[in-house]
A and B are shown apart, each in its own frame.
Chain A
Amino acid sequence: MTGSKGAPLLQVRDLRVAFRRRGEPETVAVDGVSFDVAAGQVVGLVGESGCGKSVTSMAIMRLLPQRGVHITGSVKLDGEELLTLSDARMRERRGRDLSMVFQDPLSSLNPVIPIGLQITEVLRRHRGMDKEKAREAAVELLDRVGIPDPRRRITAYPHQLSGGMRQRVMIAIALACAPRLLIADEPTTALDVTIQAQILELLKEMVAETGAALIMITHDLGVVAGLCETVNVLYAGRIVERAQRHRLFGTPRHPYTHGLLRSIPRLDAPAGEALEAIPGSVVDNVPWTHACAFAPRCHRSVERCLEVTPAGETTGGRLLRCHNPVPASAE
């Protein structure tokens, strides 16, 4: 399944995305992000709203508008650079080699077209199937993602399905051509709590079954906990900590990661331990250019944090971007 020997399936290097509007200073949404995804691996991308998760994924998919957006860096899939690929070639790869599941399944499906066609069109495009074959394949896909009575449902319109069903359809579409890489951008955020777990379970099953790698984007560490091998924590467009899931959860070193973990309820927490929200919000951020963007909200900030940008340093398989990390023994 792997491409050239040893090289990861997806290699993102120094990805930077800036939005430029006339008469306004440019907004840097993604600011030098690098990470790898190995074939079949499940990688988490975590961070609060506005930190650049969606923009990162859209940049990888090349789905950002071309006007007013400036992208630099490198995104390689199977060794092929995607950022400089021609539009036509990118269209060939999108949906076939890499695909995406979005947050809101209702708005992400075309309201005036039956779901069957929304599945078959991707099969016909990339697999060259005829109508009949694509239809059979779509029925089978719907069956695999757990939609009851798929032969009848294939003519249904999105508004006739429940939210969970719609997201199952989205997953069927994304996995129709058995892509090497699936990006799921908050696939459960728009769903009822009871449905969320089912959809996560389905995603887990489906990637295991098809051997696809998965980038799981979420602001919810609970989602990551049951799913991802490696977790990237994103803050204000930069990765501030990356580690194996167990190490990250066991000994979070970055004050932001630490704060995120303290803010989710845990079953094994000692009785009486209070949940703590991270104070402030993203609007308090300072630019990375000469400081740590998290400094105004950080309980461990030191003088240096507002003078020098912390560099990302990797030690023992953990990436950390902090002047004064939480001591490894703190938890």
Chain B
Amino acid sequence: MLRFVLRRLLQVIPTLLLLSLLVFAWLRALPGGPASAFLGDRATPEAIAALNRQLGLDQPIFIQYGQFLGRILSGDFGASTITGQPVLAEIGRALPATVELSLAALLIAVLLGIPLGYLAASRRGGPLDVSTIMGTLVGVAVPVFFLGYLLKAFFAVQLRWFPPSGRQAVGIDATDVTGLAVLDGLLTREWDASWDALLHLVLPAVTLATIPLAVIVRITRASVLDVMGSDFVRTANSKGLAPGTVRGRHVLRNALLPVSTTIGLQVGLLLAGAVLTEKVFVWGGIGTLLADAITLKDYPRLQALLLLGALVYVLVNLLVDLSYAIIDPRVRLT
């Protein structure tokens, strides 16, 4: 198992290098080159020339790539052209909000999606199954924006069950530990801060969870049906095992393999969905940084966010592979 982990970790390196190369090439391909991109539209030719020299753009291309890598590895992503602040610091401040939102959405999608997909499959063709399928069809089709505003209008504005936006109510003084507000409240025993953060989190998390939830339900259902028809489940039944044993030990475990792959793929979509969700609920995380960077052409920030996104995606899929190895001995032992 340890060797498997180490091998997979080593395999991540070329992927990351390739992604960094893509980002590097993308910057080169921008009109006016990276210098004008970094400095913004109103930069003077002198400033561009100075930065070109400073960035080493008069050097051969592979040396430039080497320097680019060197800067990234030393954590130098430049300064935002919007705020003038170091990009990395900005990201560091915004990251916990997005991590909290994404984790909450993922938790909802997984903890609800797997049991629901499982139940639908085991009551195939029944009312629960049919309504679940209908629900997932709606779930993947409804735009995140629309759903977000709808939930907000109804549950926040109309019913006033939840706050309409932001992460914290006025007057709450929370201590920062991990940056994940709900967790921090629990860790510091500031229960009201935790509860307040949770209330703020519900609507955005539900909004963001909808699509992955629908996808996970469908994949789980299909996968469970597939496994229930397999030979080894027939064998399990031929042994006269209790239905619970057949389901838990023989069906579910095998059915989770494709589900874990799906979860990995969903994380990519989750990041995209987070941009929209954060906008609707004024969440102030990475999504907000990204949206502003795109509209205001803040290339240093964009570059850093792209690399960060790639890193997260690669790491998540590494986790998926590891979960595979835990569930499936054929992966682990070969």
User: Which of A's residues lie within 8 Å of B, judged by CB?
Assistant: 61, 63, 90-96, 99-100, 102, 104, 107-114, 121-122, 125-126, 157, 159-160, 170, 173-174
How many angstroms from the CA of A170 to the CA of B234 in the assembled complex?
A: 13
Whether the Cβ atoms of A173 and B231 lie closer than 8 Å is no
The minimal Cβ–Cβ distance linking B238 to chain A, given in whole angstroms, is 5
Whether the Cβ atoms of A92 and B329 lie closer than 8 Å is no
Given A63-B238, A109-B235, A111-B232; 13 other pairs, CB 8 A cutoff: A63-B234, A94-B240, A104-B231, A110-B232, A112-B253, A113-B253, A122-B239, A122-B241, A125-B241, A125-B242, A160-B333, A170-B235, A173-B235
Whether the Cβ atoms of A157 and B237 lie closer than 8 Å is no
The minimal Cβ–Cβ distance linking B121 to chain A, given in whole angstroms, is 14
Q: Of A95, A113, A159, which is within 8 A of B249 by CB?
A: A113
The minimal Cβ–Cβ distance linking A119 to chain B, given in whole angstroms, is 10
**Chain A residues near B230 (CB-CB < 8 A):** 107
The minimal Cβ–Cβ distance linking B115 to chain A, given in whole angstroms, is 20
How many angstroms from the CA of A100 to the CA of B238 in the assembled complex?
A: 7
> Chain B 309-334, CB within 8 Å of chain A: the 1/0 string?
00000000000000000011110010
| Minimum CB distance partner of A106 in chain B | B231
Name B196-240 residues within 8 Å CB distance of A.
Answer: 230-232, 234-240
How many angstroms from the CA of A114 to the CA of B236 in the assembled complex?
A: 14
Q: Of B239, B245, B328, which is within 8 A of A173 by CB?
A: B239
Whether the Cβ atoms of B237 and A63 lie closer than 8 Å is yes
How many angstroms from the CA of A56 to the CA of B254 in the assembled complex?
A: 28
The minimal Cβ–Cβ distance linking A331 to chain B, given in whole angstroms, is 39
Whether the Cβ atoms of A95 and B254 lie closer than 8 Å is no
**Chain A residues near B279 (CB-CB < 8 A):** none
| Minimum CB distance partner of A94 in chain B | B240
Whether the Cβ atoms of A99 and B238 lie closer than 8 Å is yes
| Minimum CB distance partner of B249 in chain A | A113
Whether the Cβ atoms of B234 and A110 lie closer than 8 Å is no
| Max chain A C-beta neighbours (<10 A), residue from B235, B237, B249 | B235
B250 at interface, CB cutoff 8 A: yes
19 contacts across the A-B interface (CB closer than 8 A)? A61-B238, A63-B237, A91-B243, A92-B240, A94-B237, A94-B239, A94-B240, A95-B240, A95-B241, A107-B231, A107-B232, A109-B235, A110-B232, A110-B235, A111-B330, A112-B253, A121-B239, A125-B240, A160-B333
**Chain A residues near B329 (CB-CB < 8 A):** 111-112, 114, 157, 159
The minimal Cβ–Cβ distance linking B19 to chain A, given in whole angstroms, is 32
| Minimum CB distance partner of B239 in chain A | A95
Q: Given A125-B240, A160-B333, A173-B239, is A102 in contact with B249 using a C-beta cutoff of 8 Å?
A: no
| Minimum CB distance partner of A183 in chain B | B238
Q: Given A104-B231, A159-B330, A160-B333, is A110 in contact with B241 using a C-beta cutoff of 8 Å?
A: no
Q: How many residues of B contact A (CB 8 A)?
A: 23
Whether the Cβ atoms of B241 and A121 lie closer than 8 Å is yes
How many angstroms from the CA of A125 to the CA of B237 in the assembled complex?
A: 12
**Chain A residues near B240 (CB-CB < 8 A):** 90-96, 122, 125-126
**Chain B residues near A111 (CB-CB < 8 A):** 232, 254, 328-330
| Max chain A C-beta neighbours (<10 A), residue from B236, B238, B327, B333 | B238
> Chain B 279-291, CB within 8 Å of chain A: the 1/0 string?
0000000000000
How many angstroms from the CA of A109 to the CA of B237 in the assembled complex?
A: 12
Whether the Cβ atoms of B242 and A94 lie closer than 8 Å is no
**Chain B residues near A90 (CB-CB < 8 A):** 240
How many angstroms from the CA of A104 to the CA of B243 in the assembled complex?
A: 23
The minimal Cβ–Cβ distance linking A168 to chain B, given in whole angstroms, is 15
How many angstroms from the CA of A122 to the CA of B230 in the assembled complex?
A: 19
How many angstroms from the CA of A38 to the CA of B148 in the assembled complex?
A: 70
**Chain B residues near A121 (CB-CB < 8 A):** 239, 241, 245, 249
How many angstroms from the CA of A94 to the CA of B236 in the assembled complex?
A: 10
> Chain B 243-266, CB within 8 Å of chain A: the 1/0 string?
101000110011000000000000
How many angstroms from the CA of A92 to the CA of B249 in the assembled complex?
A: 18
Whether the Cβ atoms of B254 and A91 lie closer than 8 Å is no
**Chain A residues near B236 (CB-CB < 8 A):** 110
Q: Of A95, A157, A174, which is within 8 A of B330 by CB?
A: A157
Q: Given A96-B240, A121-B239, is A108 in contact with B330 using a C-beta cutoff of 8 Å?
A: no
| Minimum CB distance partner of B227 in chain A | A110
Q: Of A95, A96, A102, which is within 8 A of B231 by CB?
A: A102
**Chain A residues near B234 (CB-CB < 8 A):** 63, 102, 108
How many angstroms from the CA of A108 to the CA of B239 in the assembled complex?
A: 12
**Chain B residues near A108 (CB-CB < 8 A):** 231-232, 234-235
Whether the Cβ atoms of A112 and B254 lie closer than 8 Å is yes
How many angstroms from the CA of A113 to the CA of B236 in the assembled complex?
A: 12
**Chain B residues near A93 (CB-CB < 8 A):** 240
**Chain A residues near B237 (CB-CB < 8 A):** 63, 94
The minimal Cβ–Cβ distance linking A319 to chain B, given in whole angstroms, is 29
Q: Given A63-B237, A160-B333, is A109 in contact with B232 using a C-beta cutoff of 8 Å?
A: yes
> Chain B 81-116, CB within 8 Å of chain A: the 1/0 string?
000000000000000000000000000000000000
| Max chain A C-beta neighbours (<10 A), residue from B232, B239, B253 | B239
